[in-house]
Amino acid sequence: MSAWLLNGLVAVPLAFAVLTWLLARREAAAVGLAVLGGLVTLGWSVAAVLTKGPDVDVPWIAQLGVRWHLGLDGISGPLVLMSTLVVALCLVSLVRHDPGCGGRAGLAALLLLIEAGVLGSFLALDMVLFFAFFEVALIPMWFVINGWGEPHDETGRRRAATRFLIFTVLGSALMLVGFMIVRSQAGTFDIVQIAASYRPSGAAGVTAAVLVGLGLAVKTPLWPLHIWLPDAHSKAPTVGSVVLAAVLLKLGTYGFVRFWMPVTDPGWRLLAPFVAGLAVVGIVYAALACLAQTELKRLIAYSSVGHMGFVVLAVATFTLGGVQAAVYASVAHGLITGLLFFLAGAIKDRYGTGDLARLSVLYGKVPRLAGLFAFGAMASLGLPGLAGFWGEMLAIRSAVYPSSGLPAPTYTVLAVVAAFGVILTSAYFLALMRGMLQGAPAAVRPVNEDVPSIELATREVAPGTTEAGALRRDVDVMEWVTWGPLVALTLLLGVAPGLLLGPVSEAARAFFGGLR
């Protein structure tokens, strides 16, 4: 029964992706089918998480020692649920919203394909299997950006898509080399056995840990390997950005917890502090970059780099609290940044631009949408009581008390710098809200007839006229359905973090053995 559930978690979205593609000529039916597929997968994942059963573990390529080993525990469970939810919501959003270009059916099929790859990666407990699933999502994502991205900039979106592909493949190929070295040391690809018994040592062990870390750092992304991310986000369609931020980046953070920690020895004086240092540099760098951004989606993309920095910092402490913080922050980031990208897409659709210089007074024009954006921004900057707070707080706390083998003073300094990054994060989100949502339009900005959004911002538009237009409406029912779950879960996890932290610590103790 359990094997059925686990294999199904990969097979169901895959099957729906194929069916959706086959039905592509009848677009409405295909999108309906895809939504059904997303919901079935969501339900399936809930059932799989609730049913605790044995892993699936059968030989796949016997001669290489590669096994089809899938399992679900407290570390992967929350990420699986978050991913299925976000993808389902993306599919729901496609019902009303047509990004144009290649038709919705193809896009929906690609999203389901990505979901299959992502779920496979979260479930895989064999290094080669993880790598294979990790790669499954790439080609579909490339198609999403290349085919459905920014409609006015074909060369730009092609460049962004290809850059995304090359960076990720380079990273994952290096990661594979690292896995192979680990295998030659530990004698197995099975990460459960490796976590239990492998003690990395020597030059080969260090090389392997560096290569695996490098590959995951590209995906996460960790500063300075993040340069593919802002372009990919700003050129991708809304659902593409949401999936990329909420789901695909989590492959990197999850990989750090599941596959990097077991092959790295916290006793090495240099590696873990170095990684933690890069993470903290990323936090500060991303915050500063955000302060200078003029485009909404790029700003949110850079804020992702900062949030991922907290996750990696937590991982690099090699403590139970660090693992908790990493998983928690990953899930929270998926919910909040997913929501923010949805909202940014909605704003871009309504006003035809994401240029921050041209957007203002959204509180006055689309009050509910603006209110939701304010909520998302507050959650993202770490307001206590919302999900974002716990991830950052726990990450900093774990950095203050790192694993015993690590240099505590260094980590204390890093924690302080990271806390400073929190302040900068607040600064740019507040500046964003001040500039985009609030404002005194007529006094500040001159009327410019060429720019419709500013015209709107500076003049009263009678409701019902063409200018107020159908596109400029406030949040509609479908959007409430799409965004509501994200808002609700952000609140829920904010007030009841124990829901997540308990299972994570239990699973982390079981998986890592001696972790404190």
Residues of this chain that bind another protein (CB under 8 A): 59-64, 66, 102, 117, 128, 131-133, 135-136, 138-139, 142-143, 146-147, 158, 162, 165-167, 169-170, 173-174, 176-178, 180-181, 183-184, 204, 207, 211
- Of residues 214 and 276, the one with the C-beta less far from another protein: 214
CB of 44 to another protein, least distance (A): 21
Residue 199 phi/psi, 5-degree rounding, is: -115, 105
Say what angle helices 320-351 and 76-96 make with each other, to 10 degrees: 10
- Of residues 207 and 412, the one with the C-beta less far from another protein: 207
- Of residues 166 and 408, the one with the C-beta less far from another protein: 166
- Of residues 202 and 409, the one with the C-beta less far from another protein: 202
Structure tokens at 187: 């004698």
CB of 216 to another protein, least distance (A): 14
Which DSSP string do the residues of 477-501 spell out, in sequence order?
A: HHHHHHHHHHHHHHHHHHH-THHHH
96, 318, 142: which is closest to 240 by C-alpha? Answer: 142
- Of residues 154 and 506, the one with the C-beta less far from another protein: 154
CB of 347 to another protein, least distance (A): 29
152 exposure class (CB count in 10 Å sphere: 0-12, 13-18, 19+): exposed
CB of 184 to another protein, least distance (A): 4
255, 501, 283, 508: which is closest to 403 by C-alpha? Answer: 508
The number of angstroms, rounded, from the C-alpha of 481 to the middle of its chain's C-alpha atoms is: 21
CB of 117 to another protein, least distance (A): 7
- Of residues 95 and 177, the one with the C-beta less far from another protein: 177
CB of 244 to another protein, least distance (A): 17
In Å, what is the CA distance from 148 to each residue of 31, 90, 186, 239, 430?
A: 15, 14, 44, 10, 31
- Tell me how far apart the alpha carbons of residues 338 and 204 are, in angstroms, rounded to a whole number: 39
- Tell me how far apart the alpha carbons of residues 345 and 151 are, in angstroms, rounded to a whole number: 13
- Of residues 157 and 358, the one with the C-beta less far from another protein: 157
Residue 222 phi/psi, 5-degree rounding, is: -105, 135
CB of 218 to another protein, least distance (A): 10
- Of residues 131 and 310, the one with the C-beta less far from another protein: 131
Structure tokens at 152: 């006015």
Which residues are registered as beta bridge partners of 295? 355
